Amino acid sequence: MPLSGTVAKPRIVELVQAIRRHPDAAYAVAIGLVALATLTRWAMGDYVGGEIPFITFFPAIIIATLIGGLWPGVCAIILSVLSAWYLFIPPAFSFELGSRELIQLLWFILFCGINLAVVAAVNALVDRVMAQEQDMRTLLECAPAGIVVVDEEGSIKLVNASTEKLFGYKQSELLEKNIETLVPARLADMHKAERKMFVQKPQARRMGAGRDLTGRRKDGSEFPVEIDLNPVSHDGRSAFLATIMDVSERKRAQQSQQRLFSELDYKTRNLFAVFEAIAGLTADQSETVADVKYALNGRLQALARAYAMLARGTPEGLSLATIINQQVATLLERVRISGCDVSLSPQAAHQFALIIHELA
């Protein structure tokens, strides 16, 4: 996973987890540790005598439980009891027990049980912590946004897979590098100053609120970003976590929407200007209110048909033949249309529609 070594699993932890996933290996480790403890106790025989027959078995049981878990630990206790009983509790090479030796053996079993319970509880706590850490790593890796952890000096300590995709760097190329590596060169000094201000007064907030932020890829290209900052702790030191989103698609959508609004505004103002001109012309040319109503209604219908054709047409404009056919649809039995076709721009189409309507 593209996470820095500060949150990656230590090699020993990975080895222990691999052993626990294979019960045969866990029991083999327990048996091997008891065998080693037995050989060590045998070698110490002349120095410690028979008074402390269990001295080397306690570490074996604890280590077997830490590595293999509860049941390999129980196995280690049973093997340790049998080995110490047969080999080191007088009389040696016998399972006979006196009252003193029986009490000694029972105390050993009791202490082994206590050790086993304590170590099993520690194992459960460690497993919970490791599961939470694994969940955190999975969450970081699956996050669609780039996540970068930076210390007080601006050194990058952690990146996730999305950060690599966003900026085109590999993990090894970013870790321990300065965060200004991901900032356009012309903005590096300003970013450094703002970073120092954030370190002095850390709080969760949106970076550069009200301003357009830009990130720099490995190839030098730039793209718009949105960054959220959160103070965190890293190895007992203050740091901050930056969540980086590529907002290129959002910017393009906003620009497209703005163009659409501008075009709609232009067309609306143009339509009202045309309507005003038609209304004024109609009023000037008509003698009665009925004449105004009749002429204005016909011209507005012609204009509406022209705009309807424009809405269904192409951005390049409309065919003059199409406009003529539409405007004289009720007079086709009295009209003959011939000649080459001409393509009219959207601006001219509604004007020709009104001209043809007036001629008809």
Does 124 share its domain with 22? yes
Q: For the stretch 157-193, what's the b/e string if a residue is b when 16 or more beta carbons lie within 10 angstroms of its beta carbon? A: bbbbbbbbebbebebeebbeebbbebbeeebbeebee
Does 168 share its domain with 186? yes
> β-pairing, 205-206 with 237-246?
unpaired
Does 134 share its domain with 162? no
Does 136 share its domain with 63? yes
According to DSSP, residue 242 is labeled E
Tens-level pLDDT at each residue, the chain (360 residues): 333 444 455 678 778 888 888 889 999 999 999 999 999 988 887 665 556 778 889 999 999 998 988 899 999 999 999 998 888 888 888 888 888 888 888 998 999 999 899 999 988 888 888 788 777 777 778 788 899 999 988 999 889 989 999 999 998 899 999 999 999 999 999 999 888 888 888 888 888 777 889 999 999 999 999 999 999 875 667 888 999 999 989 888 888 888 888 877 877 787 777 777 777 777 777 778 787 787 778 777 777 777 777 666 665 667 777 777 776 766 666 777 777 777 777 667 767 777 776 676
Close Cβ partners of 295 (under 8 Å, ≥ 6 residues apart): 282, 285, 286
Does residue 63 lie within any of the structural domains? yes
- 3-state helix/strand/coil string of 139-189: HHHHCCCEEEEEECCCEEEEECHHHHHHHCCCHHHHCCCEHHHHCCHHHHH
Last residue of a domain, one of 215, 246, 277: 246
Does 189 share its domain with 207? yes
Does 234 share its domain with 291? no
Q: What is the largest CA-CA distance in the chain?
A: 138
Does residue 1 lie within any of the structural domains? no
268-271-273-276 Cα dihedral, nearest 10 degrees: -130
Does 93 share its domain with 82? yes
Q: Is the peptide bond before 231 cis (omega within 30 degrees of 0)?
A: no
Q: Euclidean distance between the first and final Cα of the chain, in Å? A: 76
Type and span of the H or E element at 222 = strand 222-234
Close Cβ partners of 62 (under 8 Å, ≥ 6 residues apart): 115, 119
Does residue 323 lie within any of the structural domains? yes
How far is it, in rounded angstroms, from Cα 131 to Cα 63? 21
Look up the pTM and report it.
0.54
Does residue 190 lie within any of the structural domains? yes
Last residue of a domain, one of 219, 246, 273: 246
**Which CATH number is 154's domain given?**
3.30.450.20
Does 180 share its domain with 233? yes
Ranges assigned E (strand) in 306-355: 318-319, 343-344
Residue length, the chain? Answer: 360
Does residue 344 lie within any of the structural domains? yes
| Look-up of token digits 């946004």 | 145
Phi and psi at 359, nearest 5°, equal: -65, -40
Does residue 212 lie within any of the structural domains? yes
Does residue 39 lie within any of the structural domains? yes
Last residue of a domain, one of 246, 276, 296: 246
Does 116 share its domain with 187? no
**Which domain, by its residues, includes 160?**
144-246
Does 61 share its domain with 152? no
Count structural domains, the chain: 3
How far is it, in rounded angstroms, from Cα 14 to Cα 74? 23
How far is it, in rounded angstroms, from Cα 13 to Cα 137? 15
